[in-house]
Amino acid sequence: MALSLGWKARRNCCGLLLQAMRSPPLFPWALCHPWRGGGSFLDPEMRAFLEENTEVTSSGSLTPEIQLRLLTPRCRFWWERADLWPHSDPYWAIYWPGGQALSRYLLDHPDVVRGKSVLDLGSGCGATAIAAKMSGASRILANDIDPIAGMAITLNCELNRLNPLPILTKNILDLEQDKWDLVVLGDMFYDESLADSLHQWLKNCFWTYRTRVLIGDPGRPQFSRHSIQRQLHKVVEYSLPEPTRQQNNGLTTSTVWDFQP
């Protein structure tokens, strides 16, 4: 599992991703299309690359209703050295446990999103945005700074027979805040500096628009020790499936938190 020893350490020390959060999109087409709506542009070569080097799966997660293109042990790059992956680190290719908890919660409680506007911050594979759409959200934006994640989200929408979701491939923390009924974010508190920026942005969002904020996290130290803990209410805790535990250093549960500053 050579690849997993590199980028899959994700959200323990993440200078690379933090640097990317502060940088422009990495691919020329994204510079022209940082916002993509229905009928989004999909580069044919990148589509072919993603389809060849990921596996469609719905097993081993908390949400078997959702099919996703992910890196699995049956994929070539799961076993290759991390430096052989030709693009930015594929964080979108893992269904992280915080996102799993959020997605499960939205599917089980569609009233949380039905008829509402939802921002999926750090969307990754797009599973939580997809869960929101399946549960009846009226307006959804999937935000991820990696343009390849945006393409993967579009492919994952196709797998689940959904129209492409609007996708923003810019660092939304640097943009003027919009009004959302609900902001969801999973597995994002993995770096102290980023956590501080997120905390302030979420507080502004809450106090300006009374936006509800739901956070998914499996208990990473960077989240558990952060001052945001004093402003959280536990909504639900899920036991993680065994495959997810194995891929996440033995983490056993993932929790959805309601942010109440």
Burial of 172 (0-12, 13-18, 19+ CB in 10 A): buried
Catalogue the E-assigned strands of 123-231. Answer: 139-143, 167-168, 182-186, 212-217
Residues 43, 112 contacting (CB under 8 angstroms): no
User: Mean pLDDT over residues 54-75, rounded?
Assistant: 95
Return the domain boundaries, the chain.
44-259
- The radius of gyration computed from the CA coordinates of the chain, to the nearest angstrom, equals 17
Pair type for strands 55-57 and 182-186: unpaired
- Which residue type occupies 127? A
Pair type for strands 139-143 and 117-121: parallel
Task: Look up the pTM and report it.
Answer: 0.85
* Spatial distance between the Cα atoms of 37 and 50, rounded to a whole number of angstroms: 20
Mean pLDDT over each residue of the chain, to the nearest integer: 85
Instruction: Check whether 47 has a pLDDT greater than 50.
Output: yes
In terms of Cα–Cα distance, which of 201, 239, 16 is closest to 121?
201
So what's the pLDDT on residue 41? Answer: 59
CATH fold for the domain made of 44-259: Rossmann fold (3.40.50)
Q: Convert the pLDDT of each residue in 86-138 to its tens digit.
A: 888 899 999 999 999 999 999 999 999 999 999 999 999 999 999 999 999 99
Residue 83 neighbours by CB distance under 10 Å: 9
In terms of Cα–Cα distance, which of 117, 108, 249, 104 is closest to 186?
104
Residues 204, 178 contacting (CB under 8 angstroms): no
In three-state secondary structure terms, 178 is coil
Instruction: Enumerate the β-bridge partners of residue 234.
Output: 257
In terms of Cα–Cα distance, which of 261, 137, 124 is closest to 186?
124
Cβ-Cβ contacts under 8 Å for 47 (sequence gap 6 or more): 151, 155
User: Mean pLDDT over residues 16-36, rounded?
Assistant: 34
So what's the pLDDT on residue 15? Answer: 30
So what's the pLDDT on residue 4? Answer: 42
